[in-house]
Structure 1
């Protein structure tokens, strides 16, 4: 199994799109990049641990390529917003593509350049590309949130869409 690690705002909304992709074996919500060992959701929400909410993905490279994961990632985030995603604000919600090796780094950089060159966004692409750090799985209630709390998840998705639509209209 290969692995990937992405941050793109609230991890609740990042799981379903990846889980639905063929070749994905596992998607885990959690935290990475901070200075507090074994952080809790309540700690990370305070924006004082240095952690970013992220999704850890295990996938079968014979069925899905890292480039495919990157393409889906760009569709889930606002790559022009460095300090949050949609209505989720703060460092713990910043957009990051983490890499586990030089090949992933090169593919992420290439993908970011392609997005920049596409003209799809009028603002600069600020998503960072960083080495993967220790990943801490979130508490069980945050795993597969979209299945456990479908109404709340639908509200989150709708709020993200409304936020995104309002940003596009203001450019």
Structure 2
């Protein structure tokens, strides 16, 4: 009677752990807001006809500094979390469009898209759950199901009582 209970317990435990993407991650902290600045080069013939092209020299000093920082960054941009570190003359929409978060900047013969936008960043506890807790839980759940199968098969084949004679 104990073996069927063990098999059922392992199956239920395995099923719950493998279903963890349905109930994890649990938000423990509030997401943080970041203000992203990114620059990417564009071909001059790909600039939309209705796009206003602003010369880099015509940018106000704070915008020019943010543009240069994003362009010179190895990642092609940077993000700040403090609202006071944003550039006051630039918009930070959630969904940038040309003229509202996307600025076409000319620097000599080169053309760049300068993107600014607001992004929600997951808290560290959520990232840990996604990268560590969910995969480990799924693996332990899978192994619980394998163990349930092994216990059930062993219970079927290996529990024949020995003869009284010892044969």
Higher RCO by CA contacts (8 Å cutoff, separation 6 or greater): 2
TM-score (norm 2): 0.20
Max Rg structure: 2
